A = this chain, B = another copy of it.
């Protein structure tokens, strides 16, 4: 069974929700966790909840990186930050992967500074999942979008490598044997989007180990056309945050409408099951967490607003990825694709 290092101090509801998520994992699964952070605060939370002490170890870290901290500055100054100490546990072999709900930029930088890059990988990618319609039986309800912010602008080689890495990750984690990979572009034609995208298109078309379906456009993101969607970090970041903003807006609007208008209140009560589903779906941050790809070890970045359930899910995803040899799969995809 894998051991997961968990940054107890990362996220808007840390350490409470993180510790609760780890406690859940300890009673419900065989996964071992190392909780990294302020020992006394972790103990305080643990003392009030049910957990399996055989499955949880605490590693004290005196500092932590705040959600609003500048990543570069924070990583330079706070050498004893929980996130950094957790990453070091992984490189030292005391844990197999890392889960944090903390500062995303710091998480990427911690990987860059602590983990060894997979041989041949030029730039790291932060991948994220989001729910969309299903188009074929057995298709995963969630699509994988990368990069969503690790590499602002990309060359063709980087986009191709993101496709190889994302495809390998999806093959292992989502159980889709041949995930459909697409480039996010402003047109479906192979001549669209500028030099890097045109070049990446041609190279992916020739790649034998990627199920490349071509370009998709913005309106296809809500459909099930692709399982793995490739774009540069700037675009992926805007898309992901837009999706999150809209999901929140829908839940907000429905709530406000229900409070202010008896008709809506009545209607929403009738629709309750459906709206519950929608809320679940819009709460997709809870589903899995975003892997940082390109290193010999895996970091799963859980959403900053992660609840215990979201943290527990991210730990499960991390454990599954370790068991299924995701980083080896990625390394072999990069080697063959090079």
Contact with B along A209-226 (1 / 0, CB 8 A): 000000001111111000
Contact indicator B233/A186 (Cβ below 8 Å): yes
- The distance from the CB of A69 to the nearest CB of chain B, in whole angstroms, is 12
Closest residue of B by beta carbon distance from A270: B267
Contacts of A193 in B (CB 8 A): 152, 234
Cβ of A194 within 8 Å of any chain B Cβ, yes or no, is: yes
Copies of this chain, complex-wide, total: 2
Cβ B241 vs Cβ A238 within 8 A: no
Q: Which residue of B lies closest to A148 (CB)?
A: B186
- Other than the known A153-B194, A235-B238, A246-B246, what 8 A-B pairs have Cβ atoms closer than 8 Å? A149-B186, A186-B233, A218-B243, A221-B245, A261-B274, A263-B271, A264-B270, A267-B271
| Chain B residue at minimum C-beta to C-beta distance from A271 | B267
**A239 CB–B CB distance under 8 Å:** yes
CB A228 to nearest CB in B, in angstroms, measures 16
Q: Are A266 and B257 in contact (CB under 8 A)?
A: no
Is A109's CB within 8 Å of the partner chain B? no
Q: List 19 A-B contacts (CB under 8 A).
A: A133-B249, A152-B186, A186-B233, A186-B237, A218-B239, A218-B241, A222-B242, A222-B246, A231-B238, A235-B235, A235-B238, A242-B242, A261-B274, A263-B271, A266-B270, A267-B268, A267-B270, A267-B274, A270-B270
Chain B residues contacting A239 (CB-CB under 8 Å) are 218, 238-239, 242
Q: In whole angstroms, how far apart are the Cα atoms of A219 and B241 in the complex?
A: 5
Q: A220 with B245: in contact, given A267-B268, A271-B263 (CB under 8 Å)? A: yes
Cα distance A270–B244 when bound, in Å? Answer: 28
Produce 1/0 per residue, A260-279, CB < 8 A to B.
01011011101101100000
Q: Which residues of B contact A127 (CB under 8 A)?
A: none
Q: Tell me which residues across on chain B come within 8 A of A235, comparing CB atoms.
A: 234-235, 238
A155 within 8 A of B: no
Question: Chain A, interface size: which category?
Answer: 35 or more
Q: Determine if A248 is an interface residue (Cβ-Cβ < 8 Å).
A: yes
State whether the Cβ of A184 lies closer than 8 Å to any Cβ in chain B: yes
Cα-based distance from A220 to B248 in the complex (angstroms)? 11
In the bound complex, residues from chain B placing their C-beta under 8 Å from that of A257 are 274
Q: Does A240 contact B (CB under 8 A)?
A: yes
Contact B264 A238 (CB under 8 A): no
Known: A186-B238, A217-B241, A257-B274. A249 touches B222 (CB 8 A): yes
Given contacts A193-B152, A245-B221, contact A274 B270 (CB under 8 A): no
Complex Cα gap A193–B235 (Å): 10
Per-residue CB contact flags for chain A residues 182-205 toward chain B (1 = under 8 Å, else 0) read: 001010000001100000000000
The answer to whether B234 touches A186 (Cβ under 8 A) is yes
Assess the A244–B268 pair: CB atoms within 8 A: no
**A193 CA / B234 CA spacing, docked (Å):** 7
Q: Is the CB of B264 within 8 A of A237?
A: no
* Closest-CB distance, A254 to chain B (whole angstroms): 9
